[in-house]
């Protein structure tokens, strides 16, 4: 699992680094209105993609036996669903522009109908490749597809100078990924089959679809409210902040969950092993992502104006909050995926209902305050609420060790706060080198150096190191 996740994340990391350059070029070439229209189109297509792909990849991942008849039936279902999805996106594009109050998004939404059409097949094909364990090959194909998409996308933006040009990158990357995934498969699923032979898998996928629709509402109601109350330009600012603040954490999430998800099929009935392993899994991931968010919350606001230029003040202001929310989301979504794999949909319905209520209250607060602050508060509150509810339910059913996990989360929070203030100090020092005496500047490094020495000396006693050694991820 670690090997597969490492290859997947390595690919995603290179893509993220390249996206910084892509974002830098496109952000300087287009204004925030263009990115606002693009963000609206992306959200609309994301909604339709949830309808059309919901659970198809997960259904393949949960299969204990890969039966050819079931696979072909599921692929036939994915193909038909894609055709319907493309038609829905194209025909309802005017309605979405009215909902978002963004007329400029009409063209981008209609072009994204192509993406919606292929989304179910991409979900099926990549889910199948992961199920048979070909993570390295898929990671390489995904990297090549994204590099190709970015190269063609930059040329399109510079040539066309409009919001539609921003769609070239994701569309090319998606089609190239689909071709790569089909080439990597063992072809036992190729060909048309009876959807009835995959009836159980389709039923599971539709339950996941309903849950995904609720998740879409949770992720976009506040953005819709922000667009209608404050204007599409605020969504453009939010989109630019996401590129540096949220996307890196989302790439970690995208690397972890597809690799881990198929393994949850072994925990359907729960066991003492499940209780220990799930607790360690969440603890280790929290140790990696949450302190990193504390550091990123300082660095990203400083880097963003350098990378994107002036005129992105709102993006700079909200980026620290997005970093924190994105880190919590990685841990929260990991547990939510486990709950989904177990088929605990009653837990999911009630939890998503609570989160929707939080979103609606946030939209009301945005309208009353005419500020984006309630949206940022809701962003963090939503992720925390989801995780708290699922942790409590899993502890109750003995899937998690509540006391151990709570202790770990408390220590992780303190470590993250310390990382934030230490990074603030280092940033202040680096910007004051020309105004302070050299000796005074070097003195500020003493506490940091001392902490590094202490951590290294006691590294084998640190909780994340103990967990990593326990499962053979570290040796020594």
> Which tokens hold the place of 255?
């690397």
Q: What is the mean pLDDT of the chain?
A: 83
Residue 142 in this model has a pLDDT that exceeds 80: yes
Residue 48 in this model has a pLDDT that exceeds 80: no
pLDDT value of residue 239:
81
pLDDT digits (tens, 9 = 90+) for 232-242: 788 888 888 88
> Which tokens hold the place of 297?
């919350």
Q: Count of CB atoms within 10 A of residue 194's CB? A: 13
pLDDT value of residue 436:
56
Confidence of residue 273 (pLDDT cuts 50, 70, 90): confident
Domain boundaries, the chain: 2-431
Average pLDDT over residues 286-313: 87
Average pLDDT over residues 278-307: 90
- On whether the CB atoms of residues 76 and 142 are closer than 8 A, the answer is no
Average pLDDT over residues 129-134: 84
pLDDT value of residue 392:
94
Percent of residues, the chain, with pLDDT higher than 70: 91
Place of tokens 């003040």: 313
Q: Count of CB atoms within 10 A of residue 190's CB? A: 14
Confidence of residue 129 (pLDDT cuts 50, 70, 90): confident
Confidence of residue 330 (pLDDT cuts 50, 70, 90): very high
CA 122 to chain centre: 17
pLDDT value of residue 212:
75
Confidence of residue 268 (pLDDT cuts 50, 70, 90): low
- On whether the CB atoms of residues 231 and 311 are closer than 8 A, the answer is no
CA dihedral 433, 435, 437, 438 (to 10 degrees): 20
- Give the range among 37-51, 381-395, 424-438 with minimum mean pLDDT: 424-438
**How far apart (Å, rounded) are the C-alpha atoms in residues 250 and 430?**
29
pLDDT digits (tens, 9 = 90+) for 393-446: 999 988 999 999 999 999 999 999 988 988 887 777 766 655 555 555 566 666
**How far apart (Å, rounded) are the C-alpha atoms in residues 265 and 282?**
17
pLDDT value of residue 144:
93
pLDDT value of residue 441:
57
Q: Which candidate, 146, 150, 201, 200, places its Cα nearest to that of 174?
A: 146
CB-based contacts of 430: which residues, under 8 Å, 6+ apart? none
- On whether the CB atoms of residues 19 and 166 are closer than 8 A, the answer is no
Alpha carbon distances (Å) from 217 to 50, 121, 234, 241: 11, 24, 19, 21
Confidence of residue 67 (pLDDT cuts 50, 70, 90): confident
- The whole model's pTM is what? 0.75
């Amino acid at each position: 699992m670690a090997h597969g996740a490492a290859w997947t994340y390595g690919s995603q990391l290179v893509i993220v680094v390249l996206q910084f350059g892509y974002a830098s070029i496109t952000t300087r070439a287009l204004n925030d209105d263009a990115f606002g229209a693009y963000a609206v189109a992306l959200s609309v297509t994301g909604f339709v993609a949830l309808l059309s792909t919901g659970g198809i990849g997960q259904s393949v991942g949960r299969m204990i036996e890969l039966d050819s008849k079931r696979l072909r039936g599921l692929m036939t279902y994915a193909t038909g669903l894609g055709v319907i999805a493309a038609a829905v996106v194209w025909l309802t594009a005017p309605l979405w522009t009215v909902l978002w109050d963004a007329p400029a998004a009409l063209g981008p939404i209609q072009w994204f109908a192509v993406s919606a059409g292929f989304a179910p097949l991409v979900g099926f094909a990549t889910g199948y490749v992961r199920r048979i364990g070909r993570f390295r090959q898929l990671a390489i194909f995904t990297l090549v597809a994204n590099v190709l998409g970015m190269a063609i996308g930059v040329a399109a933006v510079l040539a066309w100078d409009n919001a539609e040009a921003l769609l070239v990158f994701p569309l090319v990357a998606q089609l190239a990924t689909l071709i790569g995934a089909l080439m990597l498969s063992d072809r036992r699923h190729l060909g048309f089959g009876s959807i009835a032979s995959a009836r159980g898998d389709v039923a599971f996928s539709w339950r996941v679809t309903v849950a995904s629709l609720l998740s879409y509402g949770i992720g976009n109601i506040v953005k819709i409210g922000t667009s209608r109350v404050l204007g599409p330009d605020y969504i453009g600012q939010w989109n630019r902040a996401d590129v540096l603040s949220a996307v890196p954490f989302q790439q970690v999430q995208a690397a972890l969950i597809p690799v881990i998800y198929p393994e949850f099929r072994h925990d359907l009935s729960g066991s003492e092993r499940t209780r220990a392993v799930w607790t360690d899994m969440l603890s280790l991931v929290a140790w990696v992502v949450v302190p990193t968010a504390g550091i990123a919350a300082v660095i990203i606001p400083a880097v963003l104006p350098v990378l994107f230029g002036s005129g992105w003040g709102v993006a700079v202001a909200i980026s620290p909050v997005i970093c924190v929310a994105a880190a919590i989301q990685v841990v929260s979504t990991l547990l939510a995926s486990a709950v989904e794999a177990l088929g605990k949909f009653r837990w999911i319905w009630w939890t998503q209902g609570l989160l929707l209520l939080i979103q609606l209250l946030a939209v009301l607060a945005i309208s009353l305050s005419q500020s984006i602050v309630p949206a940022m508060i809701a962003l963090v509150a939503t992720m925390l609420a989801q995780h708290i509810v699922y942790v409590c339910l899993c502890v109750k059913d003995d899937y998690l060790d509540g006391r151990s996990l709570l202790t770990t989360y408390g220590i992780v929070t303190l470590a993250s706060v310390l990382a934030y203030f230490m990074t603030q100090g280092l940033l202040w020092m680096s910007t004051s080198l020309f105004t302070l005496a050299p000796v005074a500047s070097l003195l500020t490094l003493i506490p940091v150096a001392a902490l590094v020495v202490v951590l290294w000396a006691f590294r084998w006693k640190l909780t994340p190191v103990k967990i990593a050694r326990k499962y053979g991820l570290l040796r020594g």
